[in-house]
Structure 1
Amino acid sequence: MSAATTRRALAWAHGCLSVQSLGGMLGPVLFLLPDGRQVSPLQVAPWGNDPERATLPEILQELRGEWPCVPFGSDAERSLPAGWSATGESFDGAGVPHGHGSNTHWSWGDCDERRIVLECHYPDDHPIRLLRRSIVPDPGASAIDITLEIEARRPCRLPIGLHPTFRLSPRPGSVVIEPGSFDRVWSFPGDVEPGAALFTPSQQWPSLGAVGTRGGATVDAAQVPLADDTEDLLQLSDIDGSVALHYRDEGFRARLSWQKEHFPSLLLWYSNRGRKAYPWNGRHVALGVEPIASAFDLGPAISNGVNPLAASGVATAIAFEPGKTFTTRYRLSVEAASAG
């Protein structure tokens, strides 16, 4: 690794949290429920102490929890079906996975016993100048309020997103995805991981309850982990800015809320033992629950280009201007819930 990862932690009446410099990633977080139970819903990748992780892209070396992606996804050579075009506005360096901020060490800002603040300065030739994020536990609840500020160096349009990743219980279907109201479910227009795709590509459905598979069946994609080994994506468009995960075996819900005018879609990343190569090794079981203004994770050239999501009226990028700070706020919380 190019630099040693440093960490800061906070404790408050309803939990404790950790934030790392690499990627500015939040996690783990331990929440205290009103009945005295402790729950830790964010995922921490199982290879975090493996010395071989230094050979990985920076984003994967200490992969955990939640962080912002500016831009979201990355440009890459892809074979896409009709209706998709990689001819939109982009920039040199757009091939970095989930943006510069996901692959570098952030600097610590004005931290105290109530908040953690981090900043990430982007390269001089990048259209973005600075990211700043503030992580503040709610003193009266099992909840964390997060603010992200983006400052542009020059006018640009970029897909952006948030990347909360949640751990899953081992039993298939033990966690239920409970999204707020949304328009439709979109499947990825290709293979997220060769040989590990599950959902019928380039399709749409009205709900997660019956999503078509490549074998001709349907699956309830709201109940995770899935029974099959897979690595796949679904995008919920025009969502109202809220989602919950009901951990039925553990008797709690984790909730995420955000500003829907900034992130009109929710990307669900089903990391379900589908990736077999190092460091995944067929053991990674987690769910990405990612508010986005993006066309999946396909990068600026596609998100700014011709794509079916944008053609349907769904924003797949955000415009940034120098001198105008973009500020968005979101909240992660937990609550007790009935088991089963």
Structure 2
Amino acid sequence: MPAENAVLKWSHGIFSIQALGGMIGAGAFTLPDGRQVSPLFIAPWWNEAGHELDGLTTGLRGEWPCVPFGYPMPKGSFTSRWQAVMDDADRYDDVHGYSSNHAWQFVPQADSDFVELSIDYPVDHSISHLVRRLRGVAGEPRIDLELEIHARQACRMPVALHACFALPSQPGAAQLIPGAFKSGSTFPGVIEPGAEIFAKDEQFTRLIAVPSLDGKEIDASHLPLLGSAEELLQLNDVDGRATLRHLVDRYEVAISWDKALLPSILLWYSNKGRQGAPWLGRTLCIGIEPSSSAFGLSPRTSAAANPIATAGTRTAIDLAPDEPLTIRYSIAVNHLSAS
């Protein structure tokens, strides 16, 4: 039987790596002051029986790659300029790609501070296989990661690194600090009816002042948000870094990546907004997702001349056979000094 998980263990951390989705699971970083912190999200239904879920939702946790990133959504709730580029005939088998919903294979390693795994795609898919490598950095609370994408044929598709971070229960007890970005966009449709808080298809330049449904502005940087919400924001032409500060627990977690390959961040606010099973209005998570994509909509929409792409930010990556694409990035934590 293939292994269901592997352990990444080094001087400053230990994490379970799950075969399903290749996701980073339960574990902790050890800070320089000796404290252990667990910034990554684990879905609260992880050990609950009775749910009939897709692979991604079943194993939802931590961080994993999405190739291709996105899935079709009904376009009725979208603004007219987005409806014009959304294809009703677009279908999907796997939300956020085959690799997000199926088991990866681990490559045996001699050292616990390094994990390598791979997954083969179906023979009729444009992607041949992915290779994922994770290394705990000796002497530091940091994981260096590498994703290799091998195409079977020339194709153009959206790609993302899907990092999910847990949030404290107290509103405003965490602060999201993105690096510099050129422009931000609110979602042009509705994700969860009744859980929308941002104005549709609007632009902004500061995360602390995002246009809201009532014509005012919302500070989307201090988390969790008051009330309930299920929303997406996209930051475009970013500088390749973002930090989540836990103000009460006095630590921060940072993700950094190659902005030339992934020029946007998709921010997923799951703020007790989804009421159906298995969410049940209990999920507090911020997704910080470096991407080349248009809101994680269908791969066809991201590969097309959508409004974000025509405004100058690339929303898909061109892949070629025999020319693997390598994306390098890292996740690190540090102590926050008292201000």
Give the shorter-chain TM-score range.
Answer: over 0.9
Counterpart secondary structure, 2:309 = helix
Question: Residue by residue, what CA displacement relative to the aligned partner does 1:242-270 show, whole Å, maximum 9, x if unpaired?
Answer: 00111000001101000001110001100
CA shift in 2, pair 1:91/1:206, >3 Å = same
Distance 2:85 2:75 in 1: 12
Whether 2:194 is the aligned partner of 1:195: answer yes
Q: Give 1:86 deviation, angstroms.
A: 6.8
Residue of structure 1 equivalent to 2:122: 123
CA shift in 2, pair 1:112/1:339, >3 Å = farther
Aligned length: 337
TM-score by length of 1: 0.95
Deviating beyond 3 angstroms after TM superposition, the runs of 4 or more aligned structure 1 residues are 85-95
TM-score by length of 2: 0.95
Distance 1:92 1:233 in 2: 21
Residue of structure 1 equivalent to 2:140: 141
Q: 1:31 aligns with which of 24, 29, 32?
A: 29
CA-based RMSD of the aligned residues comes to: 1.9
Give the share of equivalent positions with the same residue, in percent: 42
Whether 2:87 is the aligned partner of 1:57: answer no
Residue of structure 2 equivalent to 1:132: 131
Q: Is the 8 A contact 1:90 1:301 kept in 2?
A: no
Greater alpha carbon shift after TM alignment, 71-80 vs 44-53: 71-80
Residue of structure 2 equivalent to 1:48: 46
Q: Is the 8 A contact 2:28 2:37 kept in 1?
A: yes
Question: Residue by residue, what CA displacement relative to the aligned partner does 1:137-190 show, whole Å, maximum 9, x if unpaired?
Answer: 001210000000000011100001000000001111111011111111100001
Residue of structure 1 equivalent to 2:296: 297
Q: Is the 8 A contact 2:66 2:161 kept in 1?
A: yes
Q: Give 1:240 deviation, angstroms.
A: 0.4
Residue of structure 2 equivalent to 1:165: 164
Q: Give 1:75 deviation, angstroms.
A: 2.6
Aligned partner letter, 1:258: W
Q: Is the 8 A contact 1:231 1:275 kept in 2?
A: yes
Question: Residue by residue, what CA displacement relative to the aligned partner does 1:20-63 show, whole Å, maximum 9, x if unpaired?
Answer: 1000001223111111111010000110111123x111111121
Q: Is the 8 A contact 2:90 2:300 kept in 1?
A: no
Q: Give 1:82 deviation, angstroms.
A: 2.8
Q: Is the 8 A contact 1:75 1:95 kept in 2?
A: no
Q: 1:83 aligns with which of 78, 81, 84?
A: 81
Distance 1:193 1:264 in 2: 26
CA shift in 2, pair 1:140/1:308, >3 Å = same
Q: Is the 8 A contact 2:207 2:221 kept in 1?
A: yes
Question: Residue by residue, what CA displacement relative to the aligned partner does 1:273-312 show, whole Å, maximum 9, x if unpaired?
Answer: 0000000000000100000000001021111123211011
Whether 2:14 is the aligned partner of 1:16: answer yes
Q: Give 1:130 deviation, angstroms.
A: 0.2
